Amino acid sequence: MSLTSSHPFDEALRLVPGADPGTFSGQPHPAYGNMVGPFGGITAAQLLQAVWLHPDRLGEPVALTVNFAAALRDAPFHIQARAARTNRSTQHWVLEMRQVGEDGAETTVITGSAVTAVRRGTWSSADAPRPDVPRPDSIARPEVPRSVRWIERYDMRPITGHMPMRWDGSESSSLTQLWVRDEPPRPLDFASLTALADVFFPRVWLRRAVRTPIGTVSITIYFHAGADELAATGTGYLLGQARSQAFFNGFFDQSAELWNEAGHLVATTHQIVYFKE
Amino acid sequence: MSLTSSHPFDEALRLVPGADPGTFSGQPHPAYGNMVGPFGGITAAQLLQAVWLHPDRLGEPVALTVNFAAALRDAPFHIQARAARTNRSTQHWVLEMRQVGEDGAETTVITGSAVTAVRRGTWSSADAPRPDVPRPDSIARPEVPRSVRWIERYDMRPITGHMPMRWDGSESSSLTQLWVRDEPPRPLDFASLTALADVFFPRVWLRRAVRTPIGTVSITIYFHAGADELAATGTGYLLGQARSQAFFNGFFDQSAELWNEAGHLVATTHQIVYFKE
């Protein structure tokens, strides 16, 4: 049995090249549906995939920023990935996703940028050690809410900061720690790591136990591993840790880290999120 | 005496509108020169200024990402700021800076994006409290190295993690804390806060006491204050705190926070930086 051949994540990543280099068409995958439109992590992964598939790509992803300019519809979209600058060992990408809206006109729904690079071996150090937590197989998998499809696509083992059981406005820490991997298991790569960076439920819900409307406005992911390190991670779990630093007049931040089971900090990620009240 | 009328920072921000909306010409300011080309913080501020000056701008900055695609020359440049999407209360900007290279051809040197928004009063909370440190007036101002001009434009009062005195390869923490404000003092605004977000010297130099060549590849700034809160900060100091989480094969990250003297966390910022060996 192949773990990847018919995985819904690989289905979601299927982009069809257009006539112009760097143009692709694709669509949200129902298995990664959110309350409205698709899970933001899958959209970010699709944008990175456009870079990955580009025939002129140099090296591997180092940074990705995705700006969610408008709510995506569950309908086809177009991606353009343009290499704005190619240097000797780094390359700067400008990304855009467009989609036909309800009024029949195609508009920009996502803007973004990426940096790819040919990495060279250097002195390296993980200064943020992985927290000492119980192993994933020692933690029971909680009931998955059936209202949101994409959550079924992740095997999450919460350690601390799980979704509030009662929405009673009681304030608490915004910290979540959990083990997480694709469901069914799938070997880690840059695309799946990108989606995993957005796997944390909204910090403001945890912080306040109030389910206010939210939406990620911009996410940035820094990759601290190469393809070899991701491959070595395989289908193992990642330890994810997320918390907020500031909630101010309609927007809050989230900073998160993702370590593999061997303790390698494979990605750090930050986002700014709209919240309503 | 006006504190701002002839401040070199305001001189650096002078952009001349072009024929097309959202196009501006400008140039690096010698007072903000770095070892090669300008201080990255001033370039980021100039890009945000293009958004600020745009006649169609909606609201105030919430997020800014600047990708340093090529080394800037000390020569004129063009900025284009384009509103890719305008919603009811948020606006998504695509930014590009172009400059004529040594070969006479104009090329992309910076790409970027910004989000502006009309903020509404909501529940707010600063979850990252300002560290308890000595007040700025109790800390002596260190000797400023004369090799780099832009450092003279900041009044820095280091608390911990100052530039290594000996480049002896002795490893230490990557944490820096310092009070900082413009020199001469200038009331805080979004542009100066943007530049201040890049004021920390390279973490890898502190971490290793090795002065390897470095260059910021991408910086993201999240603003957690409105114009009123920045105005209330006035010419006071900001407490800046920066550290790295990962150094891996040629790139390291930096996360930083900036609080005003009253304890408001006005910005959080992240960058990924190339280093040579």
Cα–Cα distance, B26 to B131 (Å, whole number): 38
| Cα angle value B253/A52/B43 (rounded, 5°) | 40
Chain segment B95-124, per-residue pLDDT in tens: 999 999 888 999 999 999 999 999 999 999
Chain segment A19-55, per-residue pLDDT in tens: 999 999 999 999 999 988 999 999 999 999 999 999 9
pLDDT of residue B2: 47
Percent of chain A's residues with pLDDT above 90: 91
Cα–Cα distance, B258 to B241 (Å, whole number): 7
Note whether residue A135 is domain-resident.
Answer: no
The pLDDT of A126-145, averaged and rounded, is: 91
pTM given for the model:
0.97
Option in B113, B120, B249 nearest A249 (CB): B120
For chain A, report the end-to-end CA distance as a whole number of angstroms: 49
Q: Any residues with CB less than 8 A from the CB of B31 and at least 6 apart, and which?
A: B8, B11, B12, B149, B150, B152, B153
To which H or E segment does residue A41 belong? helix A40-53
B125: nearest CA partner in chain A = A247
Complex confidence, ipTM: 0.96
Q: How far is A166 from chain B (nearest CA, A)?
A: 19
* Token code pair at residue A104: 């029949």
Taking an 8 Å cut-off on Cβ atoms, the answer to whether B208 and A123 are in contact is: yes
CATH number at residue A267: 2.40.160.210
Note whether residue A162 is domain-resident.
Answer: yes
Closest Cα to residue B200, out of B273, B146, B101?
B273
Residue pair A230/A238 in contact (Cβ under 8 Å)? The answer is no
pLDDT of residue A146: 73
SS3 label, residue A241: strand
Chain segment B178-193, per-residue pLDDT in tens: 999 999 999 999 999 9
pLDDT over threshold 70, residue A1: no
Cα–Cα distance, A198 to A46 (Å, whole number): 13
Cα–Cα distance, B223 to B230 (Å, whole number): 10
Q: How far is A2 from chain B (nearest CA, A)?
A: 31
Residue span of the structural domain in which A208 resides: 8-118+140-275
Chain segment A170-207, per-residue pLDDT in tens: 999 999 999 999 999 999 999 999 999 999 999 999 99
Note whether residue A25 is domain-resident.
Answer: yes
Option in B84, B127, B247 nearest A245 (CB): B127
Instruction: Please provide the average confidence, as pLDDT, over all residues in chain B.
Output: 95
Instruction: Please provide the average confidence, as pLDDT, over all residues in chain A.
Output: 95
Note whether residue B133 is domain-resident.
Answer: no
Which DSSP string do the residues of A82-151 spell out, in sequence order? EEEEE-SSEEEEEEEEEEE-TTS-EEEEEEEEEEEE-------EE-SPPP----GGGSPPPPPPTT-GGG
pLDDT of residue A144: 73
Cα–Cα distance, A18 to A77 (Å, whole number): 12
Cα–Cα distance, B81 to B53 (Å, whole number): 10
B271: nearest CA partner in chain A = A222
Q: How far is B139 from chain A (nearest CA, A)?
A: 27
Chain segment A222-256, per-residue pLDDT in tens: 999 999 999 999 999 999 999 999 999 999 999 99
Residue pair A238/A187 in contact (Cβ under 8 Å)? The answer is no
Note whether residue A94 is domain-resident.
Answer: yes
Cis preceding linkage at B134, omega within 30 = no
pLDDT of residue B142: 87
Where does the pLDDT of residue B5 fall: very low under 50, low under 70, confident under 90, or very high at 90 and above? Answer: low
Note whether residue B1 is domain-resident.
Answer: no
Where does the pLDDT of residue A5 fall: very low under 50, low under 70, confident under 90, or very high at 90 and above? Answer: low
The pLDDT of B153-169, averaged and rounded, is: 93
Number of Cβ within a 10 Å radius of residue B254? 23
The identity of residue B234, as a single letter, is G
Q: How many helices (H) and strands (E) does chain B have?
A: 5, 14
Where does the pLDDT of residue B231 fall: very low under 50, low under 70, confident under 90, or very high at 90 and above? Answer: very high
Note whether residue A222 is domain-resident.
Answer: yes
Percent of chain B's residues with pLDDT above 70: 98
Note whether residue A132 is domain-resident.
Answer: no
Option in B70, B112, B255 nearest A85 (CB): B70
User: What are the chain B neighbours of A126 within 8 Å (beta carbons)?
Assistant: 245-248
Option in A244, A270, A275 nearest B127 (CB): A244
User: What are the chain B neighbours of A62 within 8 Å (beta carbons)?
Assistant: 217, 251, 272
Burial label, B116 (beta-carbon count in 10 A; 0-12, 13-18, 19+): buried
Total count of domains within chain B: 1
Maximal C-alpha separation, chain B: 55
% helix / strand / coil in chain A, to the nearest 5?
20, 40, 45
* Token code pair at residue B13: 């921000």
Q: How far is B157 from chain A (nearest CA, A)?
A: 24
Residue pair B217/A90 in contact (Cβ under 8 Å)? The answer is yes
